[in-house]
Amino acid sequence: MLVLWDPQRFEAVVDYDTWEDELLEDEDILRHIQAGVLVPLNVGGDGAFGVLVRSGTAVEPAMLTEREAAHRLVASQPYLFVSRGRALVGGIEGVSGDVSDGVLEQPVPEGRCAVVVHLIDWQAEAGSQDKERRPVPGALPDFVVLVNPAQLGQGTFRSEVNTFEAPNG
């Protein structure tokens, strides 16, 4: 599972034992989601995924490009993310207060943010793959994550470990 998290909230995670205390079980992950310090990018399977995080402001919110929107499969309901100005994105096993190899760091608006995760069917775009079916340079990512300040009065946020609703319920 990939996740977006607040590194300051996980400064005490310094080794496997402290990670296990915070994130081993779904109930642990759910607690962090509900606290607004972790957002799952979870499709229920393993893999190597491309992720693009885009953040906006109240005046200029982050949005999908036309190209991304044309290949979007599904979007999550907004997740709460209480930001201190930056977010990290990587595998859940890498959650800590530090930026390690393979972890993306992104500046984000401070305060209460709404995070919407978009699953992109990048393979559907013509010319996106080489002859081994690997993404070519410039191919769309698997996930586009939009982080925007929460709207005034927005009080309902998704709080599920699975990022997207299952098809047909």
SS (H, E, C) the chain: CEEEECHHHHCCCCCHHHHHHHHCCHHHHHHHHHHCCEEEECCCCCCCCCEEEEECCCCCCCCCCHHHHHCEEEECCCEEEEECCEEEEEEHHHCCCCCCCCCEEEECCCEEEEEEEEEECHHHCCCCECCCCCECCCCCCCEEEEEEECCCCCCCCECCCCCCCCCCC
Check residue 169 and give its pLDDT: 54
What average pLDDT is seen over the chain? 92
Is this structure's pTM higher than 0.75?
yes
- Predicted confidence (pLDDT) per residue in 39-86, tens digit: 999 987 777 789 999 999 999 999 999 999 999 999 999 999 999 999
Check residue 31 and give its pLDDT: 96
